Amino acid sequence: MTAQSVDHVSLLPLYAAAGTAVLVLLADLFFGRRVVLGALTAGGIATAVCAIVVGGSRAGTFCAPGGGACSWVPSPLAAVAAVVFAGLTVGVLGLSIPSLRLGTAPTGEFCFLLASSMTGGVVVGYAGDLITLIVGVETLTLPLYLLVGLRRFAPGEKVSTAPASASITFFLISVVSTAIALLGAALNYAATGALHLDRLLNATGPFAPVADAGVALLVIGLAFKVAAVPLHAWAPATYEGAPLPVAAYLSTASKLGGVLALAAIVARLDAAALTAVLAVLTMTVGNLVALRQTRMVRLLAWSSIAQAGYILAALALGAPGVAPAAAYAVFFVVLELIAFAVVVALRPPGADGGPLLAYRGAGRRSPWLGASLVLAFAGLAGLPPGLAGLFAKVTVVDALIDNNHGWLAGVVALNAVIGLAYYVRASALLYATPERVGIAVADPALLEAATHPRLPVSRAVGAVVVAASLVAVALGFAPQVLFDALG
Amino acid sequence: MTIYQVALVAVVLLPAVGAGVVAVFPARLDRAARITGTAFAAVTLLPIILLPFARQAGWTAYTASPGALRPWTEVDVSWVPALHLDFHLGVDGVSYPLVALTGLLTVLCAAYSLKGPGRALIALLLVLEAGIAGTFLSFDLILFFLFFEVVLLPMYAVIAGWGGDDRRRAARKFVLYTLFGSVFLLLGVVTVAVSAGTADLRELTGGAGLDRTTQYAAFTLLAIAFAVKAPLWPLHTWLPDAHTQAPTVGSVILAGVLLKMGTYGLIRVAVGVTPQGAEKAAPVLGILAAAAIVAGSLICLRQTELKRLIAYSSVGHMGFVLLGIATLTTTGLQAALIGNVAHGLITGLLFFLAGAIKDRAHTGELADLGGLRETAPRLAGVLGFAAIASLGLPGLAGFWGEAFAVVAAIQRGGGLWTTLAVLAAIGGALTAAYFLRLLRRVTHGPAAAPVSPVIAGREWLAWAPLAALILAVGLAPALVTGALP
């Protein structure tokens, strides 16, 4: 038997991403912070470029001798996902720069972990078998356990154990979910002998129940990663405890990884009923609980749980739902990144998201940031001016109705109404007039300006807000670009 | 691209660009921003005036036969093929009067706000104009839905930002209620687009490519969506709160053109695309319409607040429009069309006047008003004119829509429709009763609150065109629709 031939060109995105991680580590050893940041930014861009160059139509590599059955499969979806992961990594790095400058986390380690996570994300997109897939998901999440807890406190700063406890929560839940997913993959393998995604088939015969149980466990294990109800309880606590940029990464990149992994499973194996139930529960519970949130990050966390429900609804269609789900996920991560970026910009460096009331009048003090946040909230609610979000909703509803899931489309649409209630409340708060104080004040606006100073926005954070907003607006006017890239 | 196509796109694009320009003005140039915004609204009138010259064969009156969509001019650019979405705009005799009304009311409102509370309001008015005009001009179902949604948040902002004391609750009720309606619209248009494989209204009009079951399902979804927007009894409960709390210009736009998106959608989309569904549902719609007319009038008789009364009167007037549509006859649809425009003009004027009265007397309670005839005779005169137009005096705009809706119901024949016609006529009489009661309370009697008789130039500017058009449409209804049969 000859040695397996490996197509190194199709592996370029992986080389670029993993190389970035190594490069960052070395740069930290020999050079200063600026070089490290530059290395990660350049590496992220290189990964995206490699993914675009390799494209989605190249043959797979690491294939079984019999042909077909490859472990590394470039596809249009994989290429888009790699670009999005790279973009999110660079974006989250930009959001972290003010707090890194403050020394809340060691720059080198932070950047290395972020690059490793990006590598995992790239692998998830290209994975062609269950083992690569789960290894990819784990590589994506493993660095995040550390990133969530990685918080140094300045002398005199009030030390909080919130990041550490968030990290432990996330770690425990994640390990359990991985174990469940692995058990599912193992059961399915035992029953059908298939590990490669393109050999996965719905089992028949005496082992069918074992295979079905395996599929169900696999879906449940991965559903933890997208924080689907009832497997969601870790998400709000973890987001709230994590540093803001890391929370942004969790709710975008980490969620996207889970979606891709789920999509790979449900496209081949029948898990429609389970996914539909998860979808209905996720969007309804997510939206209803979000209605009662009083803290910004928790609101975003619950809203992103609800958003995952819309994606799961599309995935309940099986293979026809993969493209709409992926499109929705891309629209969603862009809008979510804007929301988090604006929150970072409005808060002092290193601070948490704070209560919603802290944002009162923020849109009047910083009109551009306010406009960006309104764009993001409107998009998440699926309304103009957030055209990207509107097209995302239409895409999912279109796919559901096209595949005779009108009832699920109805649930999605009705949930959009509940969702609007809290998005509109949060948006209106940005423009609310100063609260009346008990004592007579000559100029309430002046008092508000004194108690809510307008913070300077660091250049990196500003750049992320602008770039993400521009991407959202561009996708809103030319969504066909995304549909073409995915098709 | 012909000049008419450029004009068509400009009707939507100019206000949108204007809104963007006004929004980036710095705060210290507030006055300049307001003037710029008003100028954009005024310039938008030019392409609107140009559009009628595009028609070749006279006013294309609506006929109930399929394939009736003969646009004077259209623009069709592919936008998102994956979602059946084309940027397809077109104008014909059904949409043009409403587009013209939108352009006119926006200019009047912008000019009225020149001396008012800031540039953001004018920017929002321009966004509203772009969204409403886009809705009327869309020849693609998904595009129609998109423009339908554009108006939602700006109108919320207008109510929540410049409204009365209870504005937040009213605005939230408005936005959630109407989004609830839009949900059905989304499901309806996607159902149609997916079943027929196209969202092009020109191909879809007449129900081509849709089987009976799909038409029933789609009509139900679309009818609920438009019933919430119009609003039709019993889905009207968001309207009074929104109107009572909205600022004057918000009320004018809301009553004048925003509600028309519902009735226009019912004619163009629901009846146009799913005629079999409409045929099946016609009796239900007719009964709801008659109920709306009678219920609206009865509720109005008990109102004690000026703006609330006018808001509830919209429910009755929209009932007449729905009755016209429900008959599915050419007469009925033309009555609906003219009723739409007349209501936009008259209620627009009424809300301007109500705003003027509330600004002066600082109350809208009928019990606290009175004697306007003595304290502000001119204001009382215009109010009397508008009220009489609204109750449907022959010779003024309100008459034609209501009279011919009843005529169409009689023509339709049968026990049900005749009964509905009688009920509608009784409702019309009740309309007269509550408007006369309104006039008695507000203009007659002892002078209650001191009201300044001086009428500012901007007020005359806002009222005069509306009053003139009410008279013009009343005398020559062919201005709105071709010669009535």
pLDDT for B244-271, tens place per residue?
A: 888 888 889 988 888 889 999 998 888 8
C-alpha closest to that of B470 among B293, B347, B305, B297: B347
Write the pLDDT tens digit of every residue in B67-84: 467 778 888 888 888 888
Half-sphere exposure of B482 toward its Cβ, with a 13 Å CA cutoff?
16
Quote the pLDDT of residue B483.
Answer: 35
Could you give the count of Cα atoms lying within 13 Å of B126 in the half-sphere of its Cβ? 31
CA distance A205 to A186: 18
Q: pLDDT tens digit string along B272-298?
A: 888 888 888 889 989 999 998 888 888
Report which residue type is found at B54. Answer: A
3-state class (DSSP) for residue B135 = helix
The amino acid occupying position B216 is Y
What does each C-alpha distance from B213 to A44, A399, B192, B210, B269 come to in angstroms?
52, 20, 11, 8, 17
Angle formed at CA B274 by CA B271 and CA B277, multiple of 5 degrees: 90
The helix (run of H) or strand (run of E) holding residue B238 is helix B238-245
pLDDT of residue A462: 92
Q: What is the dihedral of CA A451, B163, B103, B77, to 10 degrees?
A: 60
**What tokens appear for A237 in the block?**
């606590």
Q: Considering only alpha carbons, which residue of chain B is nearest residue A384? A: B150
d(CA B200, CA B225): 20
Task: State pLDDT tens for residues B30-44.
Answer: 888 888 888 998 999
CB pairs under 8 A between A and B: 82
Mean pLDDT of A226-250: 90
What is the pLDDT at residue A88?
Answer: 95
Is the Cβ–Cβ distance between B477 and B338 less than 8 Å? yes
> Coil, strand, or helix at residue B140?
strand
Residues across chain B: 485
A38: Cβ contacts below 8 Å, ≥ 6 apart: none
Q: Which of B82, B142, B156 is closest, CB to CB, to A480?
A: B82
Q: How confident is the model at residue A274 (pLDDT cuts 50, 70, 90)?
A: very high
Share of chain A above pLDDT 70, in %: 97
What integer pLDDT is reported at residue B116 of this predicted model?
A: 67
For residue A291, the chain B residues in CB contact (below 8 A) are none
User: What ipTM did this prediction achieve?
Assistant: 0.90
For residue B330, pLDDT over 90 is answered with no
Judge whether residue A431 has pLDDT over 70: yes
Q: Do A416 and B172 touch (CB under 8 A)?
A: no
Alpha-carbon gap, residue B33 to A470, rounded angstroms: 25
More confident residue, A3 or A122: A122
Q: Are B210 and B167 in contact (CB under 8 A)?
A: no
Burial letters A411-448, b for 16+ CB under 10 A, else e: bbbbbbbbbbbbbbbbbbbbbbebeeeeeeeeeeeeeb
Q: What is the mean pLDDT of residues B300-323?
A: 87
pLDDT, average across residues B467-477: 85
Question: How confident is the prediction for chain A on average, in pLDDT?
Answer: 89
Average pLDDT of span B370-394: 82
Q: In which residue are the tokens 């036969």 written?
A: B65
Reading the block at residue B462, the tokens are 């806002």
Q: Which residues of B touch A328 (CB under 8 A)?
A: none
How many H-runs (helices) and E-runs (strands) does chain A carry? 20, 2
Tally of CA atoms within 13 A in the half-sphere of B456 that contains its CB: 15
Q: Is the pLDDT of residue B60 over 50?
A: no
Do B152 and A428 count as a contact with CB atoms less than 8 A apart?
A: no
Is the per-residue pLDDT at B58 higher than 70? no
CB neighbour class for A452 (10 Å; exposed up to 12, middle 13-18, buried from 19): middle
Length of chain A (residues): 487
Question: What is the spatial distance between Cα A97 and Cα A345, in angstroms, rounded to a whole number?
Answer: 11
Residue B223's alpha-carbon distances to A444, B139, B268, B274, in angstroms, are 48, 18, 11, 10
What is the pLDDT, as a whole number, of residue B438?
Answer: 83
Angstrom distance (rounded) from CA B78 to CA B87: 6
What average pLDDT does range A414-426 have in this prediction? 90
* Token output for A61: 């590599």
> Which DSSP state fits B254?
I
- Range scoring the smallest mean pLDDT among A472-481, B117-126, B204-213, B399-408: B204-213
Of A416, A420, A483, the CB nearest to B175: A420
A245 within 8 A of A96, measured Cβ to Cβ: yes
Q: Does residue B59 surpass a pLDDT of 60?
A: no
Residue A261 has φ and ψ, to the nearest 5°, of: -65, -45
Query: Does A410 sit within 8 Å of B194, measured CB to CB?
Result: no
Burial (CB < 10 A; 0-12, 13-18, 19+), residue A161, is exposed
Query: Does the structure show a pLDDT above 50 at B485?
Result: no
pLDDT bin (cut points 50, 70, 90) of residue A47 is very high
Which two structure tokens, joined as six digits, stand for B246?
């909205």
> pLDDT tens across A334-378, in order?
999 999 999 999 988 888 888 888 888 888 888 899 999 999 999
Tens digits of residue pLDDT in A159-190 = 888 888 999 999 999 999 999 999 999 998 88
Q: What tens digit of pLDDT does each residue of A9-44 get? A: 889 999 999 999 999 999 998 888 888 899 999 999
- Residue whose pair of structure tokens reads 């966390």 in the numeric block: A301
The answer to whether the Cβ–Cβ distance between A393 and B186 falls below 8 Å is yes
pLDDT at B454: 78
Where does residue B62 fall: left (phi above 0), alpha (psi -120 to 50 degrees), or beta otherwise? beta
What pLDDT score does A202 carry? 77
Interval A108-162: pLDDT, tens: 899 999 999 999 999 999 998 899 999 999 999 999 999 998 888 877 778 888 8
Query: Is the Cβ pair B82, A395 closer than 8 Å?
Result: yes
Sort out which chain B residues have CB atoms less than 8 A from A391's CB and list them.
80, 83
Q: Which residues of B touch A (CB under 8 A)?
A: 79-84, 131, 142, 145-146, 149-150, 152-153, 156-157, 160-161, 168, 171-172, 175-176, 179-180, 183-184, 186-187, 190-191, 193-194
Backbone angles phi, psi at A92, to 5 degrees: -65, -35
Q: What is the pLDDT of residue A422?
A: 92
pLDDT at A441 over 70: no
CB atoms closer than 10 angstroms to residue A204: 9
Is the per-residue pLDDT at B186 higher than 70? yes
Question: How close does chain A come to B277, measured CA to CA in Å?
Answer: 18
Structure tokens at A480: 């066909």
Q: Say if the Cβ atoms of A417 and B150 lie within 8 Å.
A: no
Do the beta carbons of residue B232 and residue B289 sit within 8 Å? yes
Q: What is the arithmetic mean of pLDDT over B309-330? A: 88
Residue B81: exposed, middle, or buried by beta-carbon count in 10 A (0-12, 13-18, 19+)?
exposed
User: What's the confidence (pLDDT) of residue B56?
Assistant: 65
Are A406 and B80 a contacting pair at CB < 8 A?
no
- Separation CA B88–CA B74 (nearest Å): 7
Query: A91 falls in which pLDDT band (50, 70, 90)?
Result: very high
Give CA–CA dist B138/B136, Å, rounded: 6
Residue B64 has pLDDT above 50, yes or no: no
Count of other CB atoms within 10 angstroms of residue A404: 11
Listed residue (A309, A304, A163, A144) closest to A237, CA to CA: A163
pLDDT band at B356 (very low <50, low <70, confident <90, very high): confident
Residue B372 has a pLDDT of: 76
User: Which of A414, A428, A483 is nearest residue B183 as measured by Cβ atoms?
Assistant: A414
**Average pLDDT of the residues in A250-256:** 93
Q: Would the pLDDT of B484 be above 60?
A: no
Inter-chain touch A395–B83, beta carbons under 8 Å:
yes
Averaged over B210-233, what is the pLDDT? 88
Per-domain boundaries in chain B:
1-273, 276-485
Q: What does the alpha-carbon distance between residue A12 and residue A82 come to, in Å, rounded to a whole number?
A: 11
B464 Cβ neighbours under 8 A, 6+ residues apart:
none
If you compute the radius of gyration of chain B from its CA atoms, what whole number of angstroms results?
Answer: 21
Measured in degrees and rounded to the nearest 5, phi and psi for residue B275 equal -65, -35
